[in-house]
Structures are given as C-alpha cells and as structure tokens.
Amino acid sequence: MAMVASTSFTYHKPRFAVVCRKNKDGRDSSSSRERDRDGKEHKYPFKVVEITPPPRCLGVRCFPTNIHCGESVTIEGQAYTVSAVTHRYQLRKGRYEPSEKRLHVLSTGRYILNLYLQNLLDQS
C-alpha cells in the first residue's frame, strides 16, 4: 500500500515598493511639498503591458501622472504608443484603496496600422 503525502500552502504575491527618483544625482526628495514648490512633475510607477497578442509584460516603469492615451513612450530603445491607462482599486477594510496602475501599450507601427484599419472600417 502506497501512502501519498500532500501539503497545501497559500501563495501570496510579494508586495514591493518602487521609488521613482527624479534627481540626476540619485537623491530622492523627502516630501511631496518640496516637489510642488520646485514645479517639477510627479512620477509614479506603472506596470507596462504590451497588448499585442500574446500580451507581454514590459516591467514596472516610472511615468508622469498625467500620461494619457496616444502619448508616445520609449522603453528599452523601442517606441510604443499608450492605448489605455488603467487604475485598479481593491476593497480593504471597507474602503477602496489603489492597488496598481497599468499602461497598455502598442508598438507605434501597430498603433498606426490599427488606426488605418479602423478608418477603413468606418468608411465602408
């Protein structure tokens, strides 16, 4: 008679913090009030996903908070166009808290091709 031992465990996604530094010398300013006084734009981490099938994660990158659809970004030397900006929230202790920010991007050539094909479809 063979005995089978099974163990069950719960996998929790590791939580990590990404700090977006703005100064060239690598120093991070200590408060957001200083950033407001300096007049510099805020940068926050976004999870970047290329949505061309199959979807491919391009990692976590820092972008300004006012990034929007149609804007061009360069990641690892390749040009991409933002097709969607998504803010996800999670219900914790009766309140919704921000859980992640995502940028859905397409390569610039693919984005222009999609616009052209959509225009042809609208004209027919």
Q: Residue 46, class by beta-carbon neighbours within 10 Å (0-12 exposed, 13-18 middle, 19+ buried)?
A: buried
Q: pLDDT 10s per residue in the chain (124 long)?
A: 455 554 444 444 445 566 676 656 554 443 343 344 555 667 889 999 999 889 999 999 999 989 999 999 999 999 999 999 999 999 999 999 999 999 999 999 999 999 999 999 999 8
What global pTM score does this model have?
0.66
Q: Which sequence spans correspond to the domains of the chain?
A: 38-123
The three-state secondary structure class of 17 is coil
- Residue 90's pLDDT is 94
